[in-house]
Structure 1
Amino acid sequence: MNYFSLSSDALLLAFILLLIAIIPFGYATKMRHAASWKIALVLTWAAFILQIIYFVCRWIAVGHAPVSNMYEFMTFFGIMLIGAILLISSLYKQWSIGFFAIPITLIILGYGSVFSNEASPLIPSLQSHWLAIHVITVAASSAILSVAFITSLIYLLKTAKASKWLEFVLFQLVVVIGFILISTLCHLFFSPRAIEFTNKVGKKEVATYMLPIITSNHADVGLLALSNSIDAKKFNTILWAFLVGGILYFIIRVVARKTLCEILQPFTLKMDLKLLDEISHRAILIGFPLFSLGGLFFAMIWAQMAWGRYWGWDPKEVWALITWLFYAALLHLRLTKEWEGERTAWLAIIGFGLIVFNQVFVNLVIAGLHSYA
């Protein structure tokens, strides 16, 4: 049996089912239609089972826990998020959360699909059982903390306060969608182009562009030549993401004649604010100690085994500590200062931003020992 092919097919089918599930989730959330709830839940559970099949089959195919690169991590992050949503929603009987959670999951899965899904041999430092223990725990905790982001987003949409900042948060999600769209289209129709340039230390380098070239470090290539102190390839990718995301956002605004906040607010009218606040708090209470275990304790044990030290101020380690301190402060303010409602909702959204920054930007942009991802 070709487990590698089976895993890819299972993940694709799961993505399609989740995409379809948005329709009955939306109708059930707005109209409180019981039959639509059942259809949405059946589709979501089927997608979750297919995601588990993907994970198991890929593990068999590659011979190790499939969490060693950005494609595998983001895909597993999506699996954990769906599992967390199904668990928490069933405990609180708030299935409406799924209408907002599934699009976030699809964005995560879509972002992961931008990276190569090819299996490659593990570098020496990753050849350890701690790969599965550390990364799976971090992904699970990040998924649970993401539930707090989703319920906080719903909370702020319902209260309709600070809409400009909330609109900015939603715009960033559209930018990510724009990046996924342009990357997918260029993968299908655009041939990669290699550009040779001289870096800031005077050595020749080759940058392979997967997107049409707007910026480069070569004076005769692209619309804008940048100095060698700036990574033109990465800046080119950021420009394309904001360009396509901005166009997509503009189209949505023109067609709907509403802001994204105004489009989504009707789906929050029948949700209880106190319950949303409680779910957010409970998610952080569960996710924070789990992140402490996986993101700090297990990470330090593995670092000692792989690199001979528990802590080395690597960018990934620093941002994991910053994320941990932020959520510790959030819980402190909640428990001692009795912060709740809108203030803690914004903090939960900022915390999710730190998670995304740590898992994506630090891995891809900031050079460090975790750059292999």
Structure 2
Amino acid sequence: MSIKEKVVDKAQAASQAARGLANLDTTTKNEALLAMADALEDSSDFILNENQKDMKQGRENGLNDALMDRLLLTEARLEKMANGLREVAQFDDPIGEVTGMKKRPNGLQIGKVKVPLGVIGMIYEARPNVTADATGLCLKAGNAVLLRGGSEAINSNQAVTEVIAKAAYKSGIPTGAIQLIETTDREAVQVMFELNEYLDVLIPRGGPGLINAVINNSTVPVIETGVGNCHTYIDNEADQEMAQEIVMNAKTQRPGVCNAMETLLVHSEIAEDFLPEMVTKLQEADVEIRGDETVQRLVSGVQPADEEDWSTEYLDYILAVKVIDGFEEAVDHIHQYNTKHSEAIITDNYHKARKFLNIVDAAAVYVNASTRFTDGGQFGLGSEIGISTQKLHARGPMSVNELTTTKFVGYGDGQIRE
């Protein structure tokens, strides 16, 4: 059987299962999610052994530290994945929720009801936890899922899928609802791009190369996620001690994720006081600083920044730093280079804070807080399937509600149109 035939077969099976999922009761879905969580913990030895195969291959292939961190599974991370599924089980079930019901003059009642999207295709890199997170969210929202993880995590993804699918089907989820494309051949991705007959949406989760490839080549509708060239602007009216703590957290707490800060903007009036100590702390944390001429003059050991640095999502211990002359210049820089993910201002000036929130175009905007909070769990949404940086359908962390659509329903008693 060819790669195309294998992918189509899996998509067909998911599409068939989606019909049953759309009408599945909440209790069955929740019991399945809890069983999947227990299965992850009960099968930890098997999953971690398979993950070590991927880690070994990753080291041999020269994956950087940030990617290796994304790839790694531990007992603690498996427990977090399991608890994420348990948390999703506690969410209200959005399917069947009726909104905006109105009675027309002729007596016909017209309203909207939330329904599943249908079959969701996920194309993602490195993180095997996405396999469980995405599956749990899709099932709770009544969707079947077709997963295509990166080649670097193939053994981990196969193990996680095998474990959770077996538990889900045993608990009453329609067989075929959880599908993993097990070939690492890129032809499989090309096939997914054209599966309009079976896939209702594609969600890419990974670096800019992956996301752009999906957006530019897919005929299946795409929800764009996650490239994060995130900025933090330190205003001249900022609490500098607080600003230092926020900067350290935004850059070093976990640099290989999309909500980590990649560019630091500092007002020129405080640069001489703020930057030397700030940069020293970052350098002590092994962060490479790439700065403009002013930063290089104020602090030693700074690499020159070029135009590419302002638009780069490093996902690493590298930070671009620029001194700017005021609020408006900071906002202009952000608008020119950001990816509409997460942006922050550190200031004690209420009016600047409000203006920043109003005019900066991003999925999440913060005042006096780290960009690292852009996360489904941190927002109280539980596990997320990704962070949408587009404006249609969903924006920001996407959880259960964002994996639904609506349809109109009409209740009548014999009305006909004249």
After TM superposition, the score normalised by the length of structure 2 is: 0.26
Whose helix proportion is higher, 1 or 2?
A: 1
Name which one, 1 or 2, has greater alpha-carbon Rg: 2
**Structure with greater proportional strand content:** 2
